Structure 1
Protein backbone atom coordinates (compact mmCIF):
# COMPACT_ATOMS: atom_id res chain seq x y z
CA UNK A 1 0.00 0.00 0.00
CA UNK A 2 1.30 3.43 -0.97
CA UNK A 3 1.53 5.89 1.89
CA UNK A 4 0.31 9.28 0.71
CA UNK A 5 1.14 12.53 2.48
CA UNK A 6 -1.05 15.37 1.24
CA UNK A 7 0.30 18.88 1.81
CA UNK A 8 -2.13 21.63 0.92
CA UNK A 9 -2.04 25.34 1.55
CA UNK A 10 -2.05 28.78 -0.05
CA UNK A 11 0.63 30.21 -2.34
CA UNK A 12 3.85 31.14 -0.60
CA UNK A 13 3.29 28.96 2.46
CA UNK A 14 6.39 26.92 1.66
CA UNK A 15 4.68 23.81 0.27
CA UNK A 16 7.26 23.01 -2.40
CA UNK A 17 10.43 23.24 -0.32
CA UNK A 18 8.72 21.50 2.58
CA UNK A 19 7.25 18.71 0.47
CA UNK A 20 10.56 17.99 -1.26
CA UNK A 21 12.32 17.93 2.09
CA UNK A 22 9.78 15.57 3.64
CA UNK A 23 9.90 13.27 0.60
CA UNK A 24 13.71 13.19 0.61
CA UNK A 25 13.86 12.48 4.35
CA UNK A 26 11.38 9.61 4.14
CA UNK A 27 12.64 8.23 0.83
CA UNK A 28 9.29 8.95 -0.82
CA UNK A 29 8.37 10.15 -4.27
CA UNK A 30 7.22 13.75 -4.71
CA UNK A 31 4.54 15.35 -6.86
CA UNK A 32 4.05 19.08 -7.40
CA UNK A 33 0.51 19.41 -8.73
CA UNK A 34 0.81 23.18 -9.02
CA UNK A 35 3.57 22.71 -11.60
CA UNK A 36 1.16 20.62 -13.64
CA UNK A 37 -1.36 23.47 -13.82
CA UNK A 38 1.44 25.85 -14.71
CA UNK A 39 2.62 23.49 -17.45
CA UNK A 40 -0.91 23.33 -18.85
CA UNK A 41 -1.04 27.12 -18.79
CA UNK A 42 2.29 27.29 -20.65
CA UNK A 43 0.84 24.97 -23.29
CA UNK A 44 -2.23 27.19 -23.69
CA UNK A 45 -0.06 30.28 -24.15
CA UNK A 46 2.12 28.46 -26.69
CA UNK A 47 -1.01 27.60 -28.65
CA UNK A 48 -2.29 31.16 -28.53
CA UNK A 49 -5.38 30.16 -26.57
CA UNK A 50 -7.22 32.91 -24.69
CA UNK A 51 -6.87 31.69 -21.10
CA UNK A 52 -10.04 33.57 -20.15
CA UNK A 53 -12.08 31.57 -22.69
CA UNK A 54 -12.98 28.48 -20.66
CA UNK A 55 -14.38 26.59 -23.64
CA UNK A 56 -11.26 27.20 -25.70
CA UNK A 57 -9.04 26.11 -22.83
CA UNK A 58 -11.13 22.99 -22.24
CA UNK A 59 -10.91 22.03 -25.91
CA UNK A 60 -7.18 22.70 -26.30
CA UNK A 61 -6.19 21.08 -23.01
CA UNK A 62 -7.36 17.68 -24.21
CA UNK A 63 -4.51 17.71 -26.74
CA UNK A 64 -1.75 18.49 -24.23
CA UNK A 65 0.50 15.68 -23.01
CA UNK A 66 2.04 16.31 -19.59
CA UNK A 67 4.75 14.25 -17.91
CA UNK A 68 5.74 14.88 -14.31
CA UNK A 69 8.81 13.39 -12.66
CA UNK A 70 8.52 12.33 -9.01
CA UNK A 71 12.14 12.52 -7.82
CA UNK A 72 12.22 15.06 -4.95
CA UNK A 73 15.89 15.79 -5.64
CA UNK A 74 15.31 16.54 -9.31
CA UNK A 75 11.62 17.25 -9.97
CA UNK A 76 10.75 17.64 -13.66
CA UNK A 77 7.72 18.69 -15.66
CA UNK A 78 7.23 18.40 -19.41
CA UNK A 79 4.49 19.61 -21.72
CA UNK A 80 4.30 18.03 -25.18
CA UNK A 81 7.82 16.67 -24.73
CA UNK A 82 9.34 20.04 -23.76
CA UNK A 83 11.01 20.58 -20.38
CA UNK A 84 9.11 23.57 -19.00
CA UNK A 85 10.52 23.59 -15.46
CA UNK A 86 11.92 27.10 -15.87
CA UNK A 87 9.41 28.90 -18.15
CA UNK A 88 6.43 27.92 -15.98
CA UNK A 89 7.86 30.09 -13.17
CA UNK A 90 7.93 33.22 -15.33
CA UNK A 91 5.59 36.20 -15.04
CA UNK A 92 3.54 35.28 -18.12
CA UNK A 93 2.54 31.87 -16.81
CA UNK A 94 2.14 33.13 -13.24
CA UNK A 95 -0.31 35.76 -14.43
CA UNK A 96 -2.35 33.29 -16.46
CA UNK A 97 -2.45 30.13 -14.35
CA UNK A 98 -5.48 31.00 -12.21
CA UNK A 99 -8.09 31.14 -15.02
CA UNK A 100 -6.71 27.94 -16.55
CA UNK A 101 -6.81 26.14 -13.20
CA UNK A 102 -10.48 27.02 -12.72
CA UNK A 103 -11.61 25.19 -15.88
CA UNK A 104 -13.37 21.98 -14.76
CA UNK A 105 -12.15 19.95 -17.75
CA UNK A 106 -8.55 20.88 -16.97
CA UNK A 107 -8.94 19.90 -13.34
CA UNK A 108 -10.53 16.56 -14.23
CA UNK A 109 -7.74 15.78 -16.69
CA UNK A 110 -4.97 16.65 -14.26
CA UNK A 111 -6.58 15.00 -11.24
CA UNK A 112 -6.79 11.77 -13.25
CA UNK A 113 -3.08 12.08 -14.07
CA UNK A 114 -2.21 12.91 -10.47
CA UNK A 115 -4.07 9.86 -9.17
CA UNK A 116 -2.29 7.68 -11.74
CA UNK A 117 1.12 8.94 -10.57
CA UNK A 118 0.15 8.40 -6.93
CA UNK A 119 -0.94 4.83 -7.67
CA UNK A 120 2.37 4.13 -9.43
CA UNK A 121 4.50 5.38 -6.53
CA UNK A 122 6.38 2.68 -4.66
CA UNK A 123 6.34 2.90 -0.86
CA UNK A 124 5.14 6.45 -0.41
CA UNK A 125 4.63 9.82 -2.04
CA UNK A 126 4.33 13.40 -0.85
CA UNK A 127 1.82 15.35 -2.93
CA UNK A 128 1.50 19.11 -2.68
CA UNK A 129 -1.22 21.39 -3.97
CA UNK A 130 -4.48 23.05 -3.00
CA UNK A 131 -6.99 20.20 -3.25
CA UNK A 132 -4.96 17.09 -2.46
CA UNK A 133 -6.55 16.19 0.87
CA UNK A 134 -10.04 17.18 -0.25
CA UNK A 135 -10.20 15.96 -3.87
CA UNK A 136 -7.13 14.24 -5.29
CA UNK A 137 -6.29 11.93 -2.37
CA UNK A 138 -9.03 12.16 0.27
CA UNK A 139 -7.83 8.85 1.75
CA UNK A 140 -4.25 10.08 2.25
CA UNK A 141 -2.42 8.59 5.23
CA UNK A 142 -1.54 12.08 6.49
CA UNK A 143 -3.06 15.42 5.53
CA UNK A 144 -1.25 18.64 6.35
CA UNK A 145 -2.55 22.15 5.77
CA UNK A 146 0.52 24.39 5.67
CA UNK A 147 0.02 28.06 6.41
CA UNK A 148 2.03 31.20 7.22
CA UNK A 149 1.02 34.80 7.81
CA UNK A 150 0.64 37.01 4.68
CA UNK A 151 3.83 38.99 5.30
CA UNK A 152 5.97 35.88 5.66
CA UNK A 153 4.39 34.30 2.59
CA UNK A 154 5.00 37.41 0.49
CA UNK A 155 8.61 37.64 1.64
CA UNK A 156 9.30 34.01 0.79
CA UNK A 157 7.67 34.17 -2.62
CA UNK A 158 9.45 37.44 -3.44
CA UNK A 159 12.82 35.86 -2.59
CA UNK A 160 11.94 32.77 -4.59
CA UNK A 161 11.06 34.81 -7.69
CA UNK A 162 13.71 37.50 -7.24
CA UNK A 163 11.10 40.24 -6.76
CA UNK A 164 12.01 43.27 -4.66
CA UNK A 165 8.51 44.63 -3.95
CA UNK A 166 7.23 42.35 -1.18
CA UNK A 167 4.08 44.45 -0.69
CA UNK A 168 3.08 44.02 -4.32
CA UNK A 169 3.72 40.31 -3.88
CA UNK A 170 1.48 40.25 -0.80
CA UNK A 171 -1.33 41.83 -2.81
CA UNK A 172 -0.79 39.37 -5.66
CA UNK A 173 -0.95 36.43 -3.25
CA UNK A 174 -4.14 37.81 -1.72
CA UNK A 175 -5.74 37.95 -5.17
CA UNK A 176 -4.59 34.39 -5.90
CA UNK A 177 -5.99 33.20 -2.56
CA UNK A 178 -9.37 34.75 -3.38
CA UNK A 179 -9.51 33.06 -6.77
CA UNK A 180 -8.38 29.68 -5.43
CA UNK A 181 -10.75 29.76 -2.45
CA UNK A 182 -13.83 30.84 -4.40
CA UNK A 183 -13.61 28.81 -7.61
CA UNK A 184 -16.50 26.41 -8.15
CA UNK A 185 -14.37 23.37 -8.91
CA UNK A 186 -12.07 22.01 -6.16
CA UNK A 187 -11.48 25.26 -4.27
CA UNK A 188 -8.57 25.72 -1.88
CA UNK A 189 -9.84 24.30 1.41
CA UNK A 190 -8.56 22.61 4.53
CA UNK A 191 -9.64 18.98 4.79
CA UNK A 192 -11.59 18.28 7.99
CA UNK A 193 -8.99 15.77 9.16
CA UNK A 194 -5.94 17.80 8.14
CA UNK A 195 -3.37 18.91 10.68
CA UNK A 196 -2.58 22.61 10.45
CA UNK A 197 1.12 23.47 10.53
CA UNK A 198 1.91 27.19 10.81
CA UNK A 199 5.40 27.84 9.52
CA UNK A 200 5.45 31.59 10.16
CA UNK A 201 7.96 31.40 13.01
CA UNK A 202 9.62 28.13 12.00
CA UNK A 203 12.65 27.44 9.83
CA UNK A 204 12.25 25.20 6.80
CA UNK A 205 14.06 22.37 8.60
CA UNK A 206 11.73 22.72 11.60
CA UNK A 207 8.65 22.48 9.39
CA UNK A 208 10.07 19.43 7.62
CA UNK A 209 10.93 17.77 10.93
CA UNK A 210 7.43 18.47 12.25
CA UNK A 211 5.74 16.80 9.28
CA UNK A 212 8.19 13.86 9.23
CA UNK A 213 7.40 13.29 12.92
CA UNK A 214 3.68 13.32 12.13
CA UNK A 215 4.22 10.80 9.34
CA UNK A 216 6.29 8.48 11.50
CA UNK A 217 3.78 8.67 14.32
Structure 2
Protein backbone atom coordinates (compact mmCIF):
# COMPACT_ATOMS: atom_id res chain seq x y z
CA UNK A 1 0.00 0.00 0.00
CA UNK A 2 1.32 3.41 -1.01
CA UNK A 3 0.50 6.56 0.94
CA UNK A 4 1.16 9.99 -0.52
CA UNK A 5 1.09 12.45 2.39
CA UNK A 6 0.38 16.07 1.48
CA UNK A 7 0.52 18.55 4.34
CA UNK A 8 0.37 22.31 4.56
CA UNK A 9 -1.51 25.30 5.95
CA UNK A 10 -4.86 26.54 4.68
CA UNK A 11 -4.80 28.04 1.21
CA UNK A 12 -1.53 26.36 0.25
CA UNK A 13 -3.38 24.38 -2.41
CA UNK A 14 -3.17 20.98 -0.75
CA UNK A 15 -6.81 20.00 -1.25
CA UNK A 16 -6.89 20.85 -4.95
CA UNK A 17 -3.48 19.30 -5.54
CA UNK A 18 -4.28 16.16 -3.55
CA UNK A 19 -7.49 15.57 -5.49
CA UNK A 20 -5.70 16.01 -8.82
CA UNK A 21 -2.83 13.73 -7.82
CA UNK A 22 -5.24 11.06 -6.57
CA UNK A 23 -7.15 11.22 -9.85
CA UNK A 24 -3.96 10.96 -11.90
CA UNK A 25 -2.75 7.95 -9.92
CA UNK A 26 -6.20 6.37 -9.51
CA UNK A 27 -5.64 6.38 -5.73
CA UNK A 28 -8.20 6.93 -3.01
CA UNK A 29 -8.35 10.47 -1.62
CA UNK A 30 -8.83 11.45 2.02
CA UNK A 31 -9.26 14.99 3.34
CA UNK A 32 -8.34 14.51 6.99
CA UNK A 33 -9.31 18.08 7.82
CA UNK A 34 -12.91 17.10 7.21
CA UNK A 35 -12.71 14.59 10.07
CA UNK A 36 -11.79 17.34 12.52
CA UNK A 37 -14.43 19.63 11.05
CA UNK A 38 -17.07 16.93 11.49
CA UNK A 39 -16.02 16.47 15.11
CA UNK A 40 -16.13 20.25 15.59
CA UNK A 41 -19.64 20.37 14.15
CA UNK A 42 -20.70 17.71 16.66
CA UNK A 43 -19.28 19.84 19.47
CA UNK A 44 -21.14 22.93 18.28
CA UNK A 45 -24.40 21.04 17.80
CA UNK A 46 -24.09 19.84 21.40
CA UNK A 47 -23.66 23.49 22.47
CA UNK A 48 -20.24 22.76 23.96
CA UNK A 49 -17.55 25.43 24.28
CA UNK A 50 -14.75 24.42 21.83
CA UNK A 51 -12.19 25.43 24.49
CA UNK A 52 -13.71 23.01 27.02
CA UNK A 53 -11.53 19.93 26.49
CA UNK A 54 -13.64 17.69 28.72
CA UNK A 55 -16.78 18.84 26.97
CA UNK A 56 -15.21 18.18 23.57
CA UNK A 57 -14.27 14.65 24.60
CA UNK A 58 -17.77 13.98 25.89
CA UNK A 59 -19.48 15.38 22.80
CA UNK A 60 -17.37 13.34 20.40
CA UNK A 61 -16.89 10.07 22.27
CA UNK A 62 -19.73 8.24 20.50
CA UNK A 63 -20.03 10.01 17.15
CA UNK A 64 -19.68 8.24 13.82
CA UNK A 65 -17.71 10.01 11.08
CA UNK A 66 -17.54 8.48 7.62
CA UNK A 67 -16.69 9.37 4.03
CA UNK A 68 -18.44 8.09 0.92
CA UNK A 69 -17.51 9.36 -2.55
CA UNK A 70 -16.49 12.79 -1.30
CA UNK A 71 -19.47 13.11 1.05
CA UNK A 72 -18.79 13.73 4.76
CA UNK A 73 -21.19 11.90 7.07
CA UNK A 74 -21.77 12.63 10.75
CA UNK A 75 -23.90 9.99 12.44
CA UNK A 76 -25.22 9.07 9.01
CA UNK A 77 -26.20 12.61 7.99
CA UNK A 78 -24.60 14.46 5.07
CA UNK A 79 -22.65 17.37 6.59
CA UNK A 80 -20.37 18.07 3.62
CA UNK A 81 -21.47 21.71 3.41
CA UNK A 82 -22.09 22.23 7.12
CA UNK A 83 -18.50 21.42 8.07
CA UNK A 84 -17.32 24.37 5.93
CA UNK A 85 -19.40 26.95 7.82
CA UNK A 86 -17.78 29.98 9.46
CA UNK A 87 -18.68 28.64 12.92
CA UNK A 88 -16.86 25.38 12.30
CA UNK A 89 -13.89 27.16 10.74
CA UNK A 90 -13.59 29.41 13.78
CA UNK A 91 -13.73 26.54 16.27
CA UNK A 92 -11.84 23.73 14.58
CA UNK A 93 -8.37 24.71 15.85
CA UNK A 94 -9.48 24.56 19.48
CA UNK A 95 -11.34 21.28 19.06
CA UNK A 96 -8.56 19.60 17.08
CA UNK A 97 -6.00 20.53 19.75
CA UNK A 98 -7.62 18.12 22.24
CA UNK A 99 -5.19 15.21 22.51
CA UNK A 100 -7.79 12.50 23.17
CA UNK A 101 -9.83 13.58 20.16
CA UNK A 102 -6.79 13.69 17.88
CA UNK A 103 -5.81 10.18 18.93
CA UNK A 104 -9.25 8.82 18.06
CA UNK A 105 -9.40 10.69 14.75
CA UNK A 106 -5.94 9.52 13.72
CA UNK A 107 -7.02 5.91 14.25
CA UNK A 108 -10.11 6.57 12.13
CA UNK A 109 -7.94 7.97 9.35
CA UNK A 110 -5.56 5.01 9.46
CA UNK A 111 -8.46 2.53 9.29
CA UNK A 112 -9.92 4.39 6.31
CA UNK A 113 -6.66 4.11 4.37
CA UNK A 114 -6.22 0.46 5.37
CA UNK A 115 -9.68 -0.21 3.92
CA UNK A 116 -9.12 1.77 0.71
CA UNK A 117 -5.53 0.88 -0.22
CA UNK A 118 -3.20 3.22 -2.13
CA UNK A 119 -4.20 6.72 -1.04
CA UNK A 120 -3.40 10.41 -1.28
CA UNK A 121 -3.97 11.80 2.20
CA UNK A 122 -3.98 15.52 2.89
CA UNK A 123 -3.94 17.39 6.16
CA UNK A 124 -1.62 19.12 8.60
CA UNK A 125 0.13 16.23 10.37
CA UNK A 126 -0.01 13.36 7.88
CA UNK A 127 3.71 12.99 7.30
CA UNK A 128 4.63 13.62 10.94
CA UNK A 129 1.95 11.75 12.90
CA UNK A 130 -0.72 9.90 10.93
CA UNK A 131 1.58 8.19 8.42
CA UNK A 132 5.17 8.93 9.50
CA UNK A 133 6.37 6.05 7.30
CA UNK A 134 4.56 7.28 4.17
CA UNK A 135 6.50 6.60 1.00
CA UNK A 136 5.96 10.13 -0.29
CA UNK A 137 5.76 13.22 1.91
CA UNK A 138 5.11 16.68 0.52
CA UNK A 139 4.61 19.91 2.46
CA UNK A 140 3.00 22.72 0.50
CA UNK A 141 3.34 26.34 1.53
CA UNK A 142 2.76 29.80 0.05
CA UNK A 143 2.84 33.44 1.11
CA UNK A 144 -0.20 34.32 3.27
CA UNK A 145 -1.37 36.99 0.81
CA UNK A 146 -1.42 34.46 -2.03
CA UNK A 147 -3.17 31.89 0.11
CA UNK A 148 -5.81 34.49 1.00
CA UNK A 149 -6.37 35.31 -2.67
CA UNK A 150 -6.90 31.63 -3.38
CA UNK A 151 -9.33 31.24 -0.50
CA UNK A 152 -11.25 34.30 -1.68
CA UNK A 153 -12.18 32.32 -4.77
CA UNK A 154 -13.78 29.54 -2.73
CA UNK A 155 -17.55 29.47 -2.40
CA UNK A 156 -17.29 29.38 1.40
CA UNK A 157 -15.38 32.70 1.35
CA UNK A 158 -17.88 34.55 -0.84
CA UNK A 159 -18.30 38.17 0.20
CA UNK A 160 -15.31 38.23 2.54
CA UNK A 161 -12.49 40.76 2.27
CA UNK A 162 -9.14 39.28 1.27
CA UNK A 163 -7.47 41.08 4.18
CA UNK A 164 -9.86 39.42 6.63
CA UNK A 165 -9.20 36.02 5.09
CA UNK A 166 -5.45 36.57 5.38
CA UNK A 167 -5.73 37.50 9.07
CA UNK A 168 -7.81 34.38 9.67
CA UNK A 169 -5.27 32.17 7.89
CA UNK A 170 -2.34 33.61 9.84
CA UNK A 171 -4.22 33.15 13.12
CA UNK A 172 -4.93 29.52 12.21
CA UNK A 173 -1.25 29.03 11.30
CA UNK A 174 -0.19 30.34 14.70
CA UNK A 175 -2.69 28.13 16.52
CA UNK A 176 -1.78 24.99 14.58
CA UNK A 177 1.98 25.43 14.65
CA UNK A 178 1.97 26.34 18.34
CA UNK A 179 -0.18 23.52 19.72
CA UNK A 180 1.50 20.87 21.86
CA UNK A 181 -0.13 17.92 20.10
CA UNK A 182 0.71 17.32 16.42
CA UNK A 183 1.86 20.85 15.55
CA UNK A 184 1.79 21.97 11.93
CA UNK A 185 5.31 21.48 10.56
CA UNK A 186 7.02 19.65 7.70
CA UNK A 187 8.29 16.14 8.36
CA UNK A 188 12.08 16.00 8.37
CA UNK A 189 12.05 13.92 5.20
CA UNK A 190 9.28 15.86 3.43
CA UNK A 191 9.77 17.71 0.17
CA UNK A 192 8.77 21.33 0.81
CA UNK A 193 7.14 23.06 -2.16
CA UNK A 194 6.54 26.81 -2.09
CA UNK A 195 3.55 27.24 -4.39
CA UNK A 196 3.45 31.05 -4.22
CA UNK A 197 4.52 31.51 -7.83
CA UNK A 198 3.52 28.12 -9.21
CA UNK A 199 0.48 27.27 -11.31
CA UNK A 200 -1.68 24.35 -10.21
CA UNK A 201 -0.45 22.13 -13.05
CA UNK A 202 3.16 22.80 -12.02
CA UNK A 203 2.51 21.77 -8.43
CA UNK A 204 0.66 18.63 -9.48
CA UNK A 205 3.49 17.72 -11.84
CA UNK A 206 6.05 18.24 -9.07
CA UNK A 207 4.17 15.95 -6.69
CA UNK A 208 3.69 13.29 -9.36
CA UNK A 209 7.41 13.49 -10.06
CA UNK A 210 8.12 12.79 -6.39
CA UNK A 211 5.76 9.82 -6.50
CA UNK A 212 7.52 8.43 -9.58
CA UNK A 213 10.92 8.90 -7.97
CA UNK A 214 9.74 7.32 -4.73
CA UNK A 215 8.34 4.27 -6.48
TM over 0.5: yes
1:189 equivalent to 2:185? Answer yes
How far residue 164 of structure 1 moved from its aligned partner, in angstroms, is 3.6
1:28-177 correspondence runs (5 A): 28-69=27-68, 74-122=69-117, 124-160=118-154, 161-177=157-173
How far residue 216 of structure 1 moved from its aligned partner, in angstroms, is 1.2
How far residue 158 of structure 1 moved from its aligned partner, in angstroms, is 1.7
Q: Deviations over 1:5-50 (max 9, x none)?
A: 0000111101110100000000000000001100111111111112
Q: CA distance change for structure 1 residues 15 and 163 in 2, over 3 Å: closer, same or farther?
A: farther
CA RMSD of the aligned region, Å?
1.0
Structure 2 unaligned blocks of 5 or more: none
Structure 1 unaligned blocks of 5 or more: none
- Deviation beyond 2 Å, 4+ runs, structure 1: none
TM-score, normalised to structure 2, is 0.95
TM-score, normalised to structure 1, is 0.94
In structure 2, the residue matched to 1:199 is: 195
Q: CA distance change for structure 1 residues 146 and 98 in 2, over 3 Å: closer, same or farther?
A: same
Specify the SS of the correspondent of 2:134: coil
Q: Deviations over 1:126-176 (max 9, x none)?
A: 000010000000000100000111111011112112244111111111100
Q: Number of residue pairs matched?
A: 211
